[in-house]
Structure 1
Amino acid sequence: MRALRHWWDDTAGGLPATFWYLWAGLLINRAGAFAMLFLSLYLTDARGASEALAGTVVGAYGAGGAAGALLGGVLADRWGRRATLLAAHLTTAGLLVAMAFSRPLGLIAALAALAGVAHSMSSPALVAAIVDVVPAHRRSRAFNLQFWAFNLGMAAASLLAGLLAEASFTALFLVDAGATLIAAVVIGWKVPETLRRAAPAVDLGPPTGSGRTRRPGLYTALTDRTFLVFVGLTFVLAVLTLQTSTIMPLAMRSDGLGPSAYGVVVALGGALIVIGQLFVPRLIDRHRKDVVLAVSTALLALGFGVLAVADDLAVYLGAAVVWTVGSMLAAPPNAQINADLAPPQLRARYQSVFYLTFPAAAFVAPTLGGVSLQYLGDRHWLIVGGLGLLAALGHLLAGPPRERHVAALRRAAGREPTAPADRVSAG
């Protein structure tokens, strides 16, 4: 019992109550996130849309998500984290109810795009709120738990949504809206505003051409070279990770493996994350963040590179273990670096630019990956593996100057680090 208590204190101890309410809201929201999982199936089976039209509607949701990430970052720095989270959740719930009872495909497409905007607005605000309330030396733990809650909720949603869809597609949207409302109630009841209005000034670089200093805003994040290098490396990580849901099913089909085999591979990855993610902090503590990210990206490269010679389910399962471990190791330092690079008064804006990598990768991975697989066959996976190894090298090269930049930001903000800047956690 003492060992279990020590493990729990090491894994989740020292985190403020506000974090746990944010965490609970995320878990509830993700566990009820049914509608978008089955949106394409709903459109083709229940609304009679063609596959091409269904893909267009789902794409509209993704495009809305890109806009929502930027909007959420701006609003979270202006309105506040709590206000943005409540607006995003309540708007999303209303749009889901509207989609449940809408019949014209044009209206559903418009609602899907708006739902993408509202749904993605919450991500920058949520992470900014976590950074606001969690001490720097505990953020690795907090982000690890956030990643775990997200995947635990999605695993539950994947299991329950299939059963619910067989009974009623309308129920998918209504239950999703209900879960979103419950999450909003938790946030509204227990989460205070975490944005500090009187944030210290930051150096935004040279004045504009008119001689006036540029006001802090989204432009600052979009011209921060150190931050953009990190965003670019994260984009590569996202492209690699999305191979599992975009290109791998096609490769498995060409190897004579059916949908059930693909489901087994995906389920294995989800199970590993749910069971093992809580143990990750103890593996990566006291290691440099750039080294951890280089190792995790190299594992992703190795896992996907092996698929060049995969021809049966056992190889796919073994490769899935390798790339899932890589994803698990990457989550805490990736989120922590993103938080460290953001000046306090621009925290949510930086998060919004960071979150643009995911819809961008969701477009690039299937678009270029499909062409590559069609014309290059199994050599596609060698290219993916090589791209991952280059990104791993990029992390090692970018790490030292990035940490010097983070140290300068901390000095400018008047707060010395409580733990070595180049470590994942002081634990």
Structure 2
Amino acid sequence: MGKLFRSYFESFGGLRKEIWLLSLITLINRAGTMVIPFLSLYLTRNRGFSLEEVGWILTFFGLGSVTGSWLGGKLTDKIGHYKTMALSLILSSILFVLLQFPSTFWSICIGIYLVMTVADIFRPAVFVAINAYSKPENRTRSVTLIRLAINLGFSAGPAVGGFIIATAGYNGLFWVDGLTCLAAGILLLKLLHPKRARVEPEDIIVQAKSAMQDKLYLIFILAMMIFGFIFIQYFSTMPLFYADHHALTEFEIGLLLGLNGLTIFLFEMPLIKFMENRKHSVTGYVIFGTILTGLSFLVINLTDWVGVLIVGMLLVTIGEMIAFPFSNSFALKRSDGKKRGSYMALYSIAFSVSHIFGHNSGMQLIDNFGFKFTWYTMLAFAIVACILLLILKGLLKKETV
């Protein structure tokens, strides 16, 4: 047992102090975004919108995410990751508080769009910050530590969010979101100065190749869009499945979503350290993670036993634990010597586009064809993403010959 614990803690060794500070800031920020997993329930139950209307509102969620990711990439290349992250955290703290006040369809659409635009400016900047503060040999584990912070936040956030809804109502979530974003911004300004970066901001090659000129990277981005499309169902349409089909309460849904973050917190870093030492390719690992995510939709269709929801959550969690760190590492490595802000913005945009189409399409599919058909559709999309990644894997081998 002692050897097991030593092995676990050794998997965190060798990471720079700045990466730990960046993880702490990310943890505080993500713990506060507890309103996001409950957004579909908030809009249907508290605001009285139909599933079709919620689908369109969540489309604006995705549009704002795309705008923010694109703008974040531009700002990161212009003013650096530090100022970009600070700007995002402080402004989004104000906008999260204000989001509780719109009540009409279009005012909520605009509010969601503005919040996500400002909040997702943070995403390309934090990816570039990981590269700036980490050693090249620890890049994947640095990414994994940031993801651990994100998922620990998501582990605590939904559970606490469900409790807040039960005691203080949905409005309390918006205040907590705003205050935690502000706290994360203050910590960033106080603790993480850009002079501590291993790579100075000036190393960005302004005239270098951009992501849109890299055809193989575009295939990778398309596969990530599809992967994101199916993955985000667990945080928009899946809570409706839990509530409507299995009659779970908000608190129970929060605990189930929290299982995702807790599992990642406990097991992702040792798993990534173990997999890094194997001889498999990065794209091969992303394919494996995508397969597991697709299977999570298959198993919940096989039985109405409520325990299968835990099985499905564990499958998607393991798939996420594998696919996200290695896909992120692939994007960072592919951006070496190029316009890093451009590459990481496009990586972020892949998942933002998934938000545009994923939430709305999922809602429309459920409304018209039901949950079972929708989950089989997600399985089919997972197969398509795997095919694209297999094509990419073959082309990458030719590229290195």
> TM-score normalised by the shorter chain: which range applies?
0.7 to 0.9
The one-letter code sitting in structure 2 at the alignment partner of 1:237 is F
CA separation in 2, counterparts of 1:145 and 1:378? 35
Query: Deviation at 1:248?
Result: 4.1
Question: Could you tell me which residue of structure 1 aligns to residue 357 of structure 2?
Answer: 364
The one-letter code sitting in structure 2 at the alignment partner of 1:301 is G
Query: Deviation at 1:294?
Result: 1.8
CA separation in 2, counterparts of 1:88 and 1:189? 16
* 1:272 partnered with 2:276: no
- In the alignment of these two chains, the number of paired residues is 389
Query: Deviation at 1:312?
Result: 2.1
* 1:27 partnered with 2:21: no
CA separation in 2, counterparts of 1:155 and 1:325? 15
Question: Could you tell me which residue of structure 2 aligns to residue 179 of structure 1?
Answer: 180
* 1:340 partnered with 2:333: yes
Matched-pair contact (CA < 8 Å) for 1:77–1:345: no
The 5-angstrom pairing of residues 171-250 of structure 1 reads 171-193=172-194, 194=197, 196-199=200-203, 201=205, 215-216=207-208, 220-248=210-238
Where 2:200 maps in the other structure, the secondary structure is coil
Q: TM-score, normalised by structure 2?
A: 0.84
Question: Could you tell me which residue of structure 1 aligns to residue 76 of structure 2?
Answer: 76
Q: Deviations over 1:24-70 (max 9, x none)?
A: 10001111224445556666777x66447666555434322210110
CA separation in 1, counterparts of 2:108 and 2:153? 26
The one-letter code sitting in structure 2 at the alignment partner of 1:19 is I
Change (3 A) 1:367 1:45: closer
Question: Could you tell me which residue of structure 2 aligns to residue 294 of structure 1?
Answer: 287
Question: Could you tell me which residue of structure 2 aligns to residue 142 of structure 1?
Answer: 142
The 5-angstrom pairing of residues 303-322 of structure 1 reads 303-322=296-315
Percent identity reads 23
Where 1:312 maps in the other structure, the secondary structure is coil
The answer for unaligned runs of 5 or more in structure 1 is 203-214, 409-427
CA separation in 2, counterparts of 1:262 and 1:391? 28
CA separation in 2, counterparts of 1:355 and 1:13? 28
The answer for unaligned runs of 5 or more in structure 2 is none
Q: Which structure has the higher relative contact order (CA within 8 Å, separation 6+)?
A: 2
1:283 pairs with one of 270, 274, 278:
274
RMSD: 3.2
Change (3 A) 1:280 1:76: same
CA separation in 2, counterparts of 1:370 and 1:95? 26
Query: Deviation at 1:141?
Result: 0.9
The 5-angstrom pairing of residues 340-419 of structure 1 reads 340-344=333-337, 346-370=339-363, 372=365, 374-375=368-369, 378=372, 380-399=374-393, 401-402=395-396
Matched-pair contact (CA < 8 Å) for 1:298–1:392: yes
The one-letter code sitting in structure 1 at the alignment partner of 2:63 is A
Change (3 A) 1:184 1:266: closer
Matched-pair contact (CA < 8 Å) for 2:39–2:236: no
Query: Deviation at 1:335?
Result: 0.9
Where 1:12 maps in the other structure, the secondary structure is coil
Matched-pair contact (CA < 8 Å) for 2:60–2:356: no
The one-letter code sitting in structure 2 at the alignment partner of 1:136 is P
Change (3 A) 1:91 1:68: same
Where 1:283 maps in the other structure, the secondary structure is helix
The 5-angstrom pairing of residues 21-60 of structure 1 reads 21-38=21-38, 50-51=49-50, 57-60=57-60
Q: TM-score, normalised by structure 1?
A: 0.79
